[in-house]
Amino acid sequence: MSTKIGTIRSVKGTRDLLPPETSLWQRVEAEARAIFSAYNFREIRTPIIEQTPLFARSVGEDTDIVTKEMFTFSDRDNESITLRPEATASVVRAYIEHSLYNEGGIQKLYYVGPMFRRERPQKGRYRQFYQIGAEVLGSDQPTIDAEVLEMLMLLLSRLKLGNTALLLNSVGCPLCRPEYLKALRQTLDRVKRNLCSDCQRRAVTNPLRVLDCKVEADQPIIATLPSILDHLGPECRQHFDRVTAELNDRGISYTITPRLVRGLDYYTKTTFEITSGALGAQNAVLGGGRYDGLSELLGGPPTPGIGFSIGEDRLLLAVEAAAAFKAEEKLAVYVAWLGDTALAPASKLARDLRRQGLSVEIGYEPVKLKRSLGVASKLGAQFTVIIGEGEIANGKYQVKNMGTGEQQAVEPERLFQHVSESVPQ
């Protein structure tokens, strides 16, 4: 009896990242880690699964993320578990759980890892996607907001990303927001029947979310709704003015975008997004802002916070479009050995060069020289070292520069120096 086995494919909205593209991901992550470290951020790793109420409470019961997009399941003991749709809530949970506030001062933390949202997949939008994010906990100073944005702009410029725009707004705080929501509700009462059904519901349950609606037909109406910037209380106004003044001082350009409220409920005061012209419809490379009330909302001490998350998949699309970096892996040396007696010295040479940090590949079975050279050039090796009986007898190996075709006899001890002079490390 034979049953035909269907091929199993990756789950919808998820994808495999393959070499050589993964080398570009590593490059981007290395740049981010270096810059985070220069700004004294340290890495935090939180679990990929969390208790569902963490996100319901922090991201917000009425957001698209919580109502439609979470991968939530009931565990064997009936606990409701969710694959994290974002990491800010997890970072704040960990901050509270480990009493990081007892360490005094501010905590600057960063993370890199997968997030999960059950969205309709398209270019730049996946169900498993990656974020590179950073959070600062413990200060409400506008200088932090400006510094976080400065750090971001530095990262984007290191990655040679052109054609980006920093969109900036303030969404106020629990003191000034009620007055704004009143004005918003009043206007919405008049116009909501012309909005999409989601917005008609949001107009009642969470009117701020209407501003974040992505439905094209709703946009002309949304553009006429009152602006939160006209309703900021004195403290939020002053905070926003200081953030913009500090950005000016640092030479960072931005566009004030009063309808930028973001898709998560925890924000207070500063919110921002950076868009890239290199991306299509999904043009937000990153988003972030302040969340001064989140720690208290999750049962922790009052702790102001601000952070951002870069969508790494989108960042990579923009980096690829900018074409300043190429996905490539550099194999420095291919070791070709001819005849059984050459295997031992060849293996030793490969080991020694690898110990010194060069990227080395070696043939694993005896083949003719021509075939070895073919393999070496297919692998993109910069040099091929040829070791046969003659070379062993002479105490010098043949080293072929695969770019120029030049060949030279070099002593094994001098080989590392010979190769590393022309291989970028």
The residue ranges that bind ligand HAM (CB under 6 A) are 86, 88, 117, 119, 124-126, 129, 131, 133, 135, 263-264, 284-289, 291, 307-309, 311, 313-314
Bridge partners of residue 397, in order along the sequence: 410
Cβ-proximal residues to 353 (8 Å cutoff; 6+ apart), any chain: 332, 333, 360, 415, 416, 419
Contact 197, 178 (CB under 8 A): no
Angle between helices 312-322 and 21-38 (to 10 degrees): 110
Q: Give the whole-angstrom CA distance, residue 250 versus residue 153.
A: 11
Give me the least distance between CB of 375 and ligand HAM, in Å please. 38
Give me the least distance between CB of 170 and ligand HAM, in Å please. 14
| Residue nearest ligand HAM, Cβ-based | 311
Give me the least distance between CB of 275 and ligand HAM, in Å please. 9
Q: Residue 350 belongs to what H/E stretch?
A: helix 343-355
Question: Over 120-161, what HEC string results?
Answer: CCECCECCEEEEEEEEEECCCCHHHHHHHHHHHHHHHHHCCC
Q: Give the whole-angstrom CA distance, residue 211 versus residue 199.
A: 9
Give me the least distance between CB of 381 and ligand HAM, in Å please. 36
Q: Between 14 and 347, whose beta carbon lies closer to ligand HAM?
A: 14
Angle between helices 142-158 and 21-38 (to 10 degrees): 150
3-state DSSP assignment of residue 29:
helix
Give me the least distance between CB of 380 and ligand HAM, in Å please. 31
Q: Between 28 and 399, whose beta carbon lies closer to ligand HAM?
A: 28
Give me the least distance between CB of 175 and ligand HAM, in Å please. 21
Q: Between 131 and 164, whose beta carbon lies closer to ligand HAM?
A: 131
Give me the least distance between CB of 418 and ligand HAM, in Å please. 45
Q: Residue 83 belongs to what H/E stretch?
A: strand 80-83
Q: Between 140 and 352, whose beta carbon lies closer to ligand HAM?
A: 140
Residue 249's Cβ-count burial label (10 Å; 0-12, 13-18, 19+) is exposed
Please, where are the H alpha helices in 62-108?
64, 88-97
Query: Among 317, 336, 339, which Cα is nearest to 327's?
Result: 317
Q: Between 33 and 125, whose beta carbon lies closer to ligand HAM?
A: 125
Give me the least distance between CB of 129 and ligand HAM, in Å please. 3
Q: Between 145 and 361, whose beta carbon lies closer to ligand HAM?
A: 145
Q: Between 63 and 372, whose beta carbon lies closer to ligand HAM?
A: 63
Phi and psi dihedrals of 225, rounded to 5? -75, 155
Q: Between 51 and 283, whose beta carbon lies closer to ligand HAM?
A: 283
